[in-house]
């Protein structure tokens, strides 16, 4: 269903916003990133080093999202190898086993350990990997509203110019190649925005309870 709903959204104003809203509604997961305001504050103070660090941190967090397609197969195969090593360690009498793996493997590993190895989650502990100095929060609702209004205005202008260019190309000169190129460029631009916002602005994986 999602695939069919996505198709017509690529040629509407702000398609990335429409598709993110669709993803949010159909997946029942997704929260605004906790570092979004910090990224915005750092950008306002031109501290782009902190912006890059915060963006990378959010990218790692977004790596815990559930994924589909060939990547799922690769993750499943690697998790199978990890479980075999855990089973072998238990066979050799190991009482405690540590497994260092990427965040994207976590949900599947957790499920398999409970289902296949009979393990039970006793708790979790977060360890600070690194700290990022950020400015004192100064972002207000009006600032965010202004930034969002500017973004949507530019998005709308992009859509108007694209549609106008396509109409002019087909009506006046009958140049379908140029019209297709304009449409493709529009979709490509907003596909990159969709991917970036989905990674850096929204945390798709809710905290476990």
Specify the pLDDT at position 32. 64
The b/e string for 131-143 (b: 16+ C-beta within 10 A; e otherwise) is eeebeeeebeeee
Answer yes or no: pTM beyond 0.75. Answer: no
Q: Directed axis angle between helix 48-62 and helix 176-200, to 10°? A: 90
Sign of the alpha-carbon torsion through 197, 201, 202, 206: positive
> How far is the C-alpha of 109 from the C-alpha of 102, rounded, in Å?
11
pLDDT at res. 30? 57
pLDDT for 162: 92
The first and second tokens of residue 197, run together, are 């916002």
Per-residue pLDDT at 34:
67
pLDDT of the residue at 159: 92
Alpha helix positions (H), 47-174: 48-62, 70-91, 106-116, 141-168
How much of the chain is in helix, strand and coil states, percent to nearest 5? 65, 0, 30
CA R_g for the chain: 22
Residues of the chain whose pLDDT is less than 70? Answer: 1-3, 26-34, 59-73, 103, 134-141, 173-174, 200-209
């Amino acid at each position: 269903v999602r695939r069919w709903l996505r198709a017509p959204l690529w040629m509407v104003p702000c398609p990335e916003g429409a598709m993110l809203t669709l993803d949010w509604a159909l997946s029942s997961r997704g929260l605004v990133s906790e570092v979004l305001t910090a990224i915005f504050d750092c950008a306002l103070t031109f501290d782009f080093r902190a912006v890059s660090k915060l963006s990378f941190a959010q990218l790692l967090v977004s790596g815990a999202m559930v994924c589909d397609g060939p990547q799922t197969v690769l993750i499943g195969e690697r998790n199978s190898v990890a479980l075999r090593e855990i089973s072998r360690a238990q066979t050799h009498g190991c009482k405690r086993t540590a497994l260092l793996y990427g965040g994207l493997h976590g949900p599947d590993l957790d499920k398999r350990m409970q289902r296949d190895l009979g393990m039970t989650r006793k708790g979790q502990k977060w360890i600070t990997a690194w700290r990022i100095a950020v400015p004192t929060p100064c972002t207000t609702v009006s600032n965010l509203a202004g930034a969002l209004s500017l973004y949507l205005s530019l998005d709308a202008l992009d859509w108007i110019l694209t549609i106008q260019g396509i109409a002019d190309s087909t009506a006046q000169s009958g140049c379908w190649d140029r019209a297709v190129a304009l449409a493709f460029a529009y979709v490509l631009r907003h596909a990159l925005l969709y991917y970036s916002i989905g990674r850096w602005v929204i945390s798709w994986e809710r905290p476990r309870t």
